[in-house]
Structures are given as C-alpha cells and as structure tokens.
Structure 1
Amino acid sequence: MEKLILFTLIACSSWSVTAWAEGGCPPGQYPQQGQGWQTCVPIPESGQSRGAPQAPVAVWRSSWQAIATDSSKGVLGTSIDRSTTEEAETLALNDCKSKGGTHCTIAISYGNGCIAMVTGNALLTTGAGRTKAEAESSAMNNCTSGDTGCHVYYSACSLPIRIQ
C-alpha cells in the first residue's frame, strides 16, 4: 500500500510540474508573468509577421495620347489611351490625314496625363498637365502670351490604367 501511495504522489507531482511548465497556455503561446500578473503571449516567429496579408503591389500600364494638325487646312487629328508614344503619334497623324490633312505634324504627345489645344486669332498652342484643368491652363497661358481671342478647342486625358 505504501508503494501505491508513493507512486501516486510521484505521478501527481510530475503532472503538476508539467502543468506548471505549460502555464495553461494554448498551443503557439507561452506563459509570461510579472509581479502580481500572468498571461500567455504568442511565440514570436523569426522574421515573419502573422498580421494581415500584404496587399499586392499595383501594376500600371502607361497611357499615351497625341494631337496632330495641318494648320494650313485647319485639320485636327487625335489619339487617346494608346500603349506607346509612337502608337499615339501614328494614330493622331492617320486621323489628321483621314480628315483631309496633307501636311499633318505632331503638335503634342503626352503620357499618363492630360493635353489641351487652345486657338487664338493667329496662334494654335498646346499644353499638358496632370489634370484637364492644368493642361487647359498651360495651353491658355501659351496662347494669351502672344495672341488674343484664345479659347480651348480640344482637351482630353489618358491616365495610367491599373492592370493588377
């Protein structure tokens, strides 16, 4: 009987040591204590955070536009939302020619923003900016510095397109 009591005491004390070492914390946590308090804290991972997953990095495609003119005939050709400056310029020249232009030239090409054309009594000016208002203001300032009767004739934006 003494052996049974001794065995029971040894077994109970080993269980209590195990329970004390675990601290009653769930898996993935360990006990931490201070004066008058005890809690469970997550086991830190090396170099990794368990927070919310990171948002994917945005991938953008540039977007180009152009204006081509034949000023002798008053013809305007445009392109918008093209992948490259070369494509935008080629399409603007083709648009100008399809409207009767014979001496079409590129007046402006611009990517990821806005362009504007302002005409006055004698001049045709262009401007560019991040917004349509900025582009129109730039073109208007160019016109009013050397002409009168200036007004916005054309403006458009080709903004970057998010592809991912």
Structure 2
Amino acid sequence: MWSQIAYAEGGCPPGSYPIGGQGVQGCAPIPGAGGGQSGSSIPTPPRPTGRWHDAWGAIAHSKSTSVVGTASAETSRRSAERTALKKCAVEGAKDCAVVMAYTNQCFAWVIPNVGGPGAQSGMARAATMELANELAQKECKDGAGDACKPFYSDCAEPTFERF
C-alpha cells in the first residue's frame, strides 16, 4: 500500500529538517516555514486590524419648488434620508421626497442646459465619480441636444477604524 504523505529530506514532513545523527534521527521545524512535527498546534489566523464603516448619502427633492436637500457621510440609510428631507424642508418645501440613497458609492446629478419638451435631468450612482457622471449624462436629455451640466455630486466613502 502506498502512503499519500510526502516527506522531505531525511523522511521529515514539509517545513521540517532532519536532526540527530548516527542512528538517532528526528525532525525539527524550519524557522519561519510554518510547518512542524505532527501534533504541533495549528497556527491561529491573523487578527483583524480594524473594521470598515459604511457611509450613506441621500437626495430629497421638492417637485413644486425645485428645492433640494442632500446628506452625505451618514452612518445609515435612515439617517441619510432623514437629513436630506430635513434640509429640503428647511427651505420651505412641503412636498420633499427622497429621490435616491446611496452607500459606499458616488452620486451624480446632471441637468439640461436648455429646457423644453423632452428635457430631463439624469441621476446615477456608481463606484467612481467618473462612472456616476457618465451614467447620469446618458439619462439626461438637453433641449438643444447638448451635454447636460453638473448640478450635484458627492461620494459617500466608507471609513476604516483601526484597532
């Protein structure tokens, strides 16, 4: 019968080297190799050095007044939406509604340079500001057929807490 265990030089397991001489043999762990004799303790995985905290942003808008409220770097979706609604209402709008919330992403809102029939703004969230702007431009319709202009942009970037 064949053994499936492969042994290094002198019959020692990987990560070990032979010690002793003239008929008395043993194996010793190679320093830093992470191996060792069977029966040795299993190395523990490294401990984390910190943790990530999500960041949230939100946009609230009033259709009747065009007032906008924004929130950024909030710790929860609920907090971001509440802050955006409060900022919108402070300007006197009574019909503020959250139009978008985002976490650990960038947000871009672009608006038409020229209004008119078929004109509409564009909003997008993405991993980078460049991509968010690109996606928002694709949704925006300018009355003159031109590129839309930036109205608001922000990145809600997570923070790392070191232990």
TM-score range, shorter chain: 0.5 to 0.7
Task: Name the amino acid aligned to 1:137.
Answer: E
Q: Which has the higher helix share?
A: 1
After TM superposition, give the deviation of residue 73 of structure 1 in Å: 1.6
**Partner residue, 1:137:** 134
Task: Name the amino acid aligned to 1:114.
Answer: C
Matches within 5 A, 1:8-157: 31=19, 41-42=28-29, 44=37, 46-49=40-43, 54-56=46-48, 58-120=50-112, 121=115, 122-144=119-141, 148-149=145-146, 150-157=148-155
Cα distance per residue 1:109-130 (max 9 Å; x no partner)? 0111111111112323210001
Cα distance per residue 1:103-150 (max 9 Å; x no partner)? 111111011111111111232321000111111111111114998451
Indicate the structure (1 or 2) with the bigger Cα radius of gyration. Answer: 1
Cα distance per residue 1:63-108 (max 9 Å; x no partner)? 1100111133221110001111111111101111112322111111
User: Residue 57 of structure 2 contacts residue 71 of structure 2 at CA under 8 Å; is this kept in 1?
Assistant: yes
User: Using a 3 Å threshold, how does the CA distance of structure 1 residues 63 and 47 change in structure 2: closer, same or farther?
Assistant: same
CA RMSD of aligned residues (A): 3.1
Aligned equivalents of 2:144 and 2:71: distance in 1?
27
Greater shift, 77-86 or 40-49, is seen at 40-49
Q: Which runs of 5+ in 1 are unaligned?
A: 1-28
After TM superposition, give the deviation of residue 59 of structure 1 in Å: 1.9
Q: Which runs of 5+ in 2 are unaligned?
A: 1-16, 30-35
Q: Report sequence identity in percent.
A: 29
User: Residue 140 of structure 1 contacts residue 152 of structure 1 at CA under 8 Å; is this kept in 2?
Assistant: no
SS, match of residue 163 in structure 1: strand
